[in-house]
Amino acid sequence: MENKVNPEPYKWKDAYTVNISIIDEQHKKFLEIINELKIIINTNTCKENVSKVFFQIAYLIDHYFLKEEIYFKDCQYPNFEQHKIAHNQFIDRIIQFQKDVENNKENLCFDIYNYLEEWFDEHILKYDVEAVAFLKKSGIS
Ligand SMILES: [Fe+2]
């Protein structure tokens, strides 16, 4: 059975903004990918578009995870190691999803969508925001 998701795109909210451009940019791009996945799932075009999705996720990992890590490390953020581990777990999960493509796994885009949505709620809105709040409170950033 085909999965469908609520077609309404997620909108950026002011509450998400941390006022550090490399982080805000990354988070906005994340939301864009999630919104694209909504379209892909609802139009049942995962096979045709999944490599484009991976390309966009890889871009985010290469460009933003690293920048965020350098930034947090430079600021001597105390939970830096844990934060980096979480990023690495994300990368491992994406590699796993790529293997699923080779195995023609069903509902793959739906699974990726759920994982990214969870990451947005758990990591981006909680851990990234928490880290920035800590750095601002300590007068570092
Ligand atoms: Fe992060």
Which tens digit of pLDDT belongs to each residue from 101-135? 999 899 999 999 999 999 999 999 999 998 998 88
138 pLDDT higher than 90: no
In this structure, are residues 104 and 50 in contact, taking their beta carbons and an 8 Å threshold? Answer: no
**Side-chain half-sphere exposure of 1, counting CA atoms within 13 A:** 2
| Ligand 1 midpoint to CA 2 (Å) | 32
| Ligand 1 midpoint to CA 112 (Å) | 18
What's the sign of the alpha-carbon dihedral 118, 50, 70, 136? negative
CATH number of the domain that residue 127 is part of: 1.20.120.50
1 pLDDT higher than 70: no
Q: What is the DSSP letter of 138?
A: T
In a domain, 14, yes or no: no
| Ligand 1 midpoint to CA 33 (Å) | 16
Distance CA 34, CA 114 (A): 9
In a domain, 10, yes or no: no
Average pLDDT for residues 28-38, to the nearest whole number?
Answer: 97
Report how many domains make up the chain.
1
41 pLDDT higher than 90: yes
In a domain, 26, yes or no: yes
Average pLDDT for residues 23-38, to the nearest whole number?
Answer: 96
| Ligand 1 midpoint to CA 133 (Å) | 13
In a domain, 126, yes or no: yes
| Ligand 1 midpoint to CA 99 (Å) | 24
When mean pLDDT is compared across 14-18, 40-44, 47-51, 91-95, the lowest value belongs to 14-18
Q: Output the pTM of the full model.
A: 0.92
In this structure, are residues 132 and 123 in contact, taking their beta carbons and an 8 Å threshold? Answer: no
| Ligand 1 midpoint to CA 16 (Å) | 13
In a domain, 8, yes or no: no
141 pLDDT higher than 80: no
| Ligand 1 midpoint to CA 14 (Å) | 19
In this structure, are residues 34 and 117 in contact, taking their beta carbons and an 8 Å threshold? Answer: yes
Domain holding 109, by residue range, is 19-137
In a domain, 80, yes or no: yes
| Ligand 1 midpoint to CA 65 (Å) | 6
| Ligand 1 midpoint to CA 1 (Å) | 34
